[in-house]
């Protein structure tokens, strides 16, 4: 008898690779920066099974939260990155970001990267967060 166990949380392998690359990049950077908090949640949108980072400034109350979602595009093997700012406190304490937090306009700023460009995607997201942190 064969048993199938899925430990992937239904996350696409490219999104997982980007998450791991980001974790390595941020390890030293975040230790030196007590100004931001980054939470990672699943972001499931059909075939786009990836992650969404919620980036919040802990020292500046009332500031927006940056949401950065990334995963594999639903119509190709390319990797997408989409971001939007929402008011701090707009997210539920018990649930991560959902499609409702990404208005139609945010799709216009969506970036696409070729399949396997994990390092470039991670650097792009890293730069988005550093720019948000200001």
Q: Could you give the CA distance from residue 65 to residue 37 in angstroms, rounded to a whole number?
A: 10
Q: Which residues contact 33 (CB under 8 A, 6 or more apart)?
A: 133
Express each pLDDT in 10-36 by its tens digit: 888 999 999 999 988 877 665 556 678
Q: Domain ranges in the chain?
A: 13-133
**70 neighbors 125 (Cβ within 8 angstroms):** yes
Average pLDDT over residues 81-88: 89
DSSP H helical segments within 3-53, as ranges?
Answer: 13-31
Q: What is the pLDDT of residue 120?
A: 96
Residue 93 confidence class, pLDDT cut points 50, 70, 90 = low
Residue 30 CB coordination number (10 Å): 15
pTM for the full predicted model: 0.85
């Amino acid at each position: 008898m064969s048993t199938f166990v899925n430990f992937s949380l239904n996350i696409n392998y490219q999104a997982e690779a980007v998450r791991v690359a980001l974790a390595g990049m941020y390890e030293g950077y975040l230790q030196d920066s007590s100004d931001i908090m980054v939470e990672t949640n699943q972001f499931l949108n059909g075939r786009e099974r990836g992650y969404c980072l919620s980036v919040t400034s802990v020292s500046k109350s009332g500031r927006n939260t940056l949401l950065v979602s990334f995963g594999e595009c639903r119509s190709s093997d390319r990797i997408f990155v989409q971001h939007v700012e929402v008011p701090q406190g707009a997210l539920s304490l018990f649930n991560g970001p959902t499609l409702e937090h990404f208005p139609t306009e945010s799709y216009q700023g969506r970036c696409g990267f070729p399949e396997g460009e994990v390092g470039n995607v991670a650097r792009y997201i890293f730069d988005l967060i550093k720019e948000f942190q200001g």
